[in-house]
Structure formats: C-alpha cells, structure tokens
C-alpha cells in the first residue's frame, strides 16, 4: 500500500476484555515496529520485527501483551485482559533496509486509539 | 541506541527561524541522528537525518557538532503549521539491521502569530 495502515482507528473496550490491533506495513518493508503513546507522553517502544529474525520484545510491558507478524507482512498486537492503564494510542511503523534513499526511515501509521473503560 | 535529551517546550514567532537543540552525548560512531515531528493526532513524520555533516532538505536543516554530541534542527521560516512535537533520535546506520528506535518525550514547538 501507499502507507502504513492501522485498524481499528478507535477501539473502546471494557476492562478484562481482549483486543487485537492490526498493522499493514508498506509493501516490501522488512522491519515493523509497535509503539505506545499515552496521553501527552512520548513514544514507548513495544516490539520490533525484522525479516525472519526473532522479534525484539524487550519493550512489552507485561505478558498480557503479545504480537505476531505473519508472512513477514501484516502484524497483530494482542492485549489480553485489558486494564485501564492500557488506554493509549498504539502506533505501528515500518521501514526498509533497502530504501532507495538510504535513509531507513520509519513510516508511521495514524495509530489505533484504545480506550479501556 | 544512544539516548537523547531535548527541552520540553519552545516557542517561536511565525516567520522566524526555529532552532531545536538535542543532546546525544553517548552517540556511537555508527549511529545517525534522525529528526521526526508529530502533529496533533497524527503519527510521527520523518524530517531529516545525518551522520556528521550538516544536512539540508526542503523541510529543514540539521547542524551536527564536530564531536557529534549534540545537534540542532533548524526550521528556517516557521509557520503555524510547524507547531508539533519534535523528536530527536539516534539509530544505527541506514541499510543495516537498525533494531529498535527509542523515542524520548521530544520538544513541543509552538509557533505563535
């Protein structure tokens, strides 16, 4: 696609429910990142996928959070038993090793806003 | 990735140059300096990057000190639409396994009429 697509754009859920957030990266981008941004805060790194390598999960805040990337393309971030503190905007970005400009720029999606009641 | 330090907020008059500083004293030799900005309710957008030489593009200029421990992003003629949060990050060289990129809290730039 032309850009990074995230869905849903907004999700309201009840405490204790599971949610899935989806990211469609730019076609051909080998790297995919998930970040979380709480209201008025900076970006908090969650997880990073690069090709077929094992993902860097060092930013996941608890074992309720998990992510997968199928076929090296679409990624799903799953939050189990959601808590109110999980309320935030979840941002996905992708980049390419082989960016023609050589910049290896992260291109971000518009984010998925999660509200846990 | 090296950590960066930026002022929390800055103001700038419309039409004047906005100079946003960033400290990255622990930067490694293979790490580049990248700048992104985030306009309200949008995802961050790439602005510019550099290694050691000063860089300029249609959006901004990047000045990196000789010791590479700090840099300044310059918006030469700020407009109201430049009001945003500006993030300075450092990450390994392009076209390598870049790994995760750590964003701090950034600088909130407010351009005033």
pLDDT in tens, B46-104: 999 998 989 999 999 999 999 999 999 999 999 999 999 999 998 875 545 556 777 88
Q: Are B79 and A27 in contact (CB under 8 A)?
A: no
Residues of A in contact with B49 (CB under 8 A): 103, 105
Q: Average of pLDDT values for A48-66?
A: 90
H runs (alpha helix) in A67-116: none
Whether B46 sits inside 8 A of A50 (CB atoms) is no
- A109 → closest Cβ in B43, B49, B95: B43
Is A103 or A3 the better-scoring residue by pLDDT?
A3
Q: Which residues contact B37 (CB under 8 A, 6 or more apart)?
A: B44, B45, B47, B82, B84, B85, B86, B87
Exposure string (b/e) for B53-78, b if CB count within 10 Å is 16 or more? eebeeeebbbbbeeebebbbbbbeeb
Q: What is the pLDDT of residues A61-79, one digit of tens each?
A: 999 999 999 887 999 999 9
Residues of B in contact with A53 (CB under 8 A): 97
Whether B97 sits inside 8 A of A97 (CB atoms) is yes
- At A97 the three-state DSSP class reads coil
| Mean pLDDT, rounded, of chain A | 90
| pLDDT at residue B95 in the model | 47
């Amino acid at each position: 696609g032309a850009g990074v697509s995230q869905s849903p754009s907004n999700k309201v859920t009840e405490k204790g429910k599971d949610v899935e957030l989806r990211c469609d990266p730019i076609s051909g981008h080998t790297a995919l990142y998930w970040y979380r941004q709480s209201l008025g805060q900076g970006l908090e790194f969650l997880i990073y996928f690069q090709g077929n390598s094992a993902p860097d999960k060092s930013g996941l805040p608890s074992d309720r959070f998990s992510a997968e990337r199928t076929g090296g393309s679409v990624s799903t971030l799953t939050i189990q038993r959601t808590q109110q503190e999980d309320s935030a905007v979840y941002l996905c970005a992708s980049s390419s090793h082989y960016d023609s400009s050589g910049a290896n720029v992260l291109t971000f999606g518009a984010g998925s806003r999660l509200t846990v009641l | 990735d090296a950590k960066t330090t930026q002022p929390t907020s800055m103001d700038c008059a419309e039409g004047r140059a906005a100079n946003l500083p960033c400290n990255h004293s622990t930067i490694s030799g293979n790490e580049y300096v990248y700048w992104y900005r985030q306009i309200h309710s949008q995802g961050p957008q790439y602005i510019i990057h550099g290694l050691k030489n000063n860089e300029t593009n249609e959006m901004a200029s990047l000045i990196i000190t000789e010791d590479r421990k700090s840099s300044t992003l310059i918006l030469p003629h700020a407009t109201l639409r430049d009001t945003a949060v500006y993030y300075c990050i450092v990450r390994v060289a392009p076209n390598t396994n870049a790994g995760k990129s750590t964003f701090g809290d950034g600088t909130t730039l407010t351009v005033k009429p």
